[in-house]
Structure 1
């Protein structure tokens, strides 16, 4: 078993602050840190006049930088050459690593990807539930790092850098394949609907309400609809005695569902078999496509397209922000393309293949994302 000494982070990477004097006529490009160890990003420059009483600090390449509010979820990075000349607010903690004892990238990997390092950063970030946790400056300095020789650190970093490059390349390949798949799907859809007749929703997928009689001693599992076309999700069951005057409507597999308050941002889905036995409030609009006219999957694709979303937006009047409600009569009057059922079926099969490919890609991405943490765990497993 390897013997790596534990060293306090403050001993090998002390905090260094470089406050700057704000000039009203100057501009200050700021730096951001992505969570989960995903590096830095560049924010737009802010003018000195807009900085106001906010304090800014210079960040230098090689700094080990922490977001004090998101460090617990891996918002820790090493500033690179491209980050030169950028600034961070008081919420950024910059540490200058002693290059004769430690490698900044090794420290970043340890703190963001090893179980032991993540646990210590979390412990040093007290706070309430959710995201209300703040990394304490003194606690940060007391975090103990398992520190091999500098030569070993550099060898580990080289290995992890090579692995990180492969992980990124795989992700880029999957992204490119999915973009091409979506492009071909959209192209095929346009070909199918080009000469198709347009028909009102009320004639091809009328509204259906299945109001449920509420029993006080029964429970009713509800269904939710994610925005941006991301499908349904299951809510906890609610007791009949807790419903009060709330009305519930039964949802059946194959229903084309609209959230009347979020349809304009893609709160539209098709109920799946696993949604059987669930209920929606009066804010859910259930439409049942007529079998001889159109399929729910085909309509869903249309409504999530640019043309379909435009029509949903027009049918959802309201104020700024999210206060927009889809009107029933306006939805029923929307005209949708209705090509032959054979052409719809062929398109739906293509959709299903594309969706299955995305599912496979998701599994690959999950395994890919676990490579670096798993490698670090193996590295540190044999260390005392």
Structure 2
């Protein structure tokens, strides 16, 4: 970032108007940017599917994250009504306003049809055609900003008693936007579209790596008794694996906490699908009252016994030492190093492992958790030797680490896009 841009940003943040900029109702923007009603750029589309040119297979859904997508591809089925004749026709580059509120967007969302296909949407949606003075993809990015979207819709939308949006299609265009000249719109759209492609490629790479890990798990943890093979110098011979009761290789850890009302404690929770532990807001002993809680020990297998069927399993580490957990999260440690904890976590992410968890804990906050734990411990698993377990866990851990690094990289690219949007959509950085 150049010193000039940094100086401009500081000036705007301080409420000063830099040279070449102006103050408007929605903020400080370049002088060349127009403050106009959205109806200057868009017009209401009245085209309907009266001739049934499009079917239920062509119905679009509008997603806050994904934008305009085919409903069946997104949700797995069509939710269209008996007749789709009254549905509105959405052509490529048309703009759609859905009046369904989201948490971050309480007045609905506005998206451009970037699919390259024509589809239909129910009469609950407003459809707009872009005029020749606006870039449709720029419109998409302009309203991807939660601030731009909410600031635009808030003054013109009335929310009814049933949380429905009281606004006509025409009035949906009555709000004020501040758009740059068409040439700058196109350049902004191109820059953000390039960043979107970077994000998309990284998402595809992560999906590929996740598929590879899934395949690895099926090969390494499956019960197909093929010929022995080498893995990191260790021979994996499934014919020698033994059917073993879980309670013969792990035991429950009881570390009850004597709660001091004056102390503060950090509790843990467990994500679904083996995605590790999370930490809750610290609580005082006074807030805990007489709740049954225990101290966490490192290198233990822990699960949410109520919702274990969601694969809510994890391994504790040194990082969690000194934290506490409630009785709904029973913790187990290996007996005489008979089982590797990482291996145990991966095993219970397989279909066979999930079956055991499902049988032990079908869910429901009021169920007998002790019964669930007993049923879990009485279950049987197919167990390799400890060196085989460790070799398998090492390979799968490496796959997880690679995926984790890619996901962190993806988050950085998303933050980069967010920063670009902040700079470009406010005119703090010009791309004339």
Structure 1 length as normaliser, TM-score?
0.82
Residue 145 of structure 1: how far off its partner (Å) = 2.8
CA–CA separation in structure 2 for the residues paired with 1:127 and 1:213: 53
CA–CA separation in structure 1 for the residues paired with 2:406 and 2:81: 45
Three-state SS of the structure 2 residue aligned to 1:212 is: coil
Three-state SS of the structure 1 residue aligned to 2:122 is: strand
Three-state SS of the structure 2 residue aligned to 1:361 is: helix
Residue 235 of structure 1: how far off its partner (Å) = 1.5
Residue pair 1:316, 1:324 contacting (<8 A) in 2 also: no
Residue pair 2:304, 2:330 contacting (<8 A) in 1 also: yes
Do structure 1's residue 36 and structure 2's residue 65 form an aligned pair?
yes
CA–CA separation in structure 2 for the residues paired with 1:143 and 1:126: 10
CA–CA separation in structure 2 for the residues paired with 1:240 and 1:125: 48
Three-state SS of the structure 1 residue aligned to 2:330 is: strand
Residue pair 1:124, 1:136 contacting (<8 A) in 2 also: no
Residue pair 2:306, 2:363 contacting (<8 A) in 1 also: no
CA–CA separation in structure 1 for the residues paired with 2:242 and 2:220: 17
CA–CA separation in structure 2 for the residues paired with 1:219 and 1:13: 56
Three-state SS of the structure 1 residue aligned to 2:281 is: strand
Closer/same/farther in 2, CA of residues 243 and 160 from structure 1, 3 Å limit = closer
Describe the superposition over 1:158-180 as per-residue Cα deviations: whole angstroms up to 9, x where unpaired.
44434433432232133223322
Structure 2: which 5+ runs fail to align?
1-19, 21-29, 223-228, 230-235
Closer/same/farther in 2, CA of residues 313 and 125 from structure 1, 3 Å limit = farther
Three-state SS of the structure 2 residue aligned to 1:292 is: coil
Do structure 1's residue 64 and structure 2's residue 108 form an aligned pair?
no
State the partner residue of 1:361: 406
Do structure 1's residue 381 and structure 2's residue 414 form an aligned pair?
no
Residue 333 of structure 1: how far off its partner (Å) = 1.0
Do structure 1's residue 306 and structure 2's residue 306 form an aligned pair?
no
Residue pair 1:76, 1:108 contacting (<8 A) in 2 also: yes
Residue pair 1:35, 1:70 contacting (<8 A) in 2 also: no
**Alignment length (residue pairs):** 372
Picking from 172, 188, 196, the partner of 1:164 is: 196
Residue 238 of structure 1: how far off its partner (Å) = 2.9
CA–CA separation in structure 1 for the residues paired with 2:379 and 2:245: 5
CA–CA separation in structure 2 for the residues paired with 1:370 and 1:30: 32
CA–CA separation in structure 1 for the residues paired with 2:242 and 2:157: 61
Structure 2 length as normaliser, TM-score?
0.73
Residue 317 of structure 1: how far off its partner (Å) = 4.7
Residue 96 of structure 1: how far off its partner (Å) = 2.5
State the partner residue of 1:93: 126
Picking from 229, 234, 247, the partner of 1:202 is: 247
Closer/same/farther in 2, CA of residues 125 and 220 from structure 1, 3 Å limit = farther
Equivalent residue runs for 1:114-263 within 5 Å: 117-118=148-149, 120-121=151-152, 123=154, 140-190=172-222, 192=236, 194-195=238-239, 196-263=241-308
State the partner residue of 1:12: 41
Which 10-residue stretch deviates more, 143-152 or 345-354? 143-152
Structure 1: which 5+ runs fail to align?
none
Describe the superposition over 1:76-97 as per-residue Cα deviations: whole angstroms up to 9, x where unpaired.
322256653422252x232222
Closer/same/farther in 2, CA of residues 46 and 82 from structure 1, 3 Å limit = farther
Residue pair 2:33, 2:178 contacting (<8 A) in 1 also: yes
Picking from 110, 118, 123, the partner of 1:84 is: 118
State the partner residue of 1:336: 381
Residue pair 1:36, 1:75 contacting (<8 A) in 2 also: no
Residue 373 of structure 1: how far off its partner (Å) = 3.3
Picking from 297, 318, 327, the partner of 2:342 is: 297
Closer/same/farther in 2, CA of residues 338 and 133 from structure 1, 3 Å limit = farther
Describe the superposition over 1:178-218 as per-residue Cα deviations: whole angstroms up to 9, x where unpaired.
32244234423347472311211111011222222233333
Do structure 1's residue 282 and structure 2's residue 327 form an aligned pair?
yes
User: C-alpha root-mean-square deviation of aligned residues, in Å?
Assistant: 3.7
State the partner residue of 1:45: 78
Residue 267 of structure 1: how far off its partner (Å) = 1.4
CA–CA separation in structure 2 for the residues paired with 1:193 and 1:267: 29
CA–CA separation in structure 2 for the residues paired with 1:257 and 1:125: 51
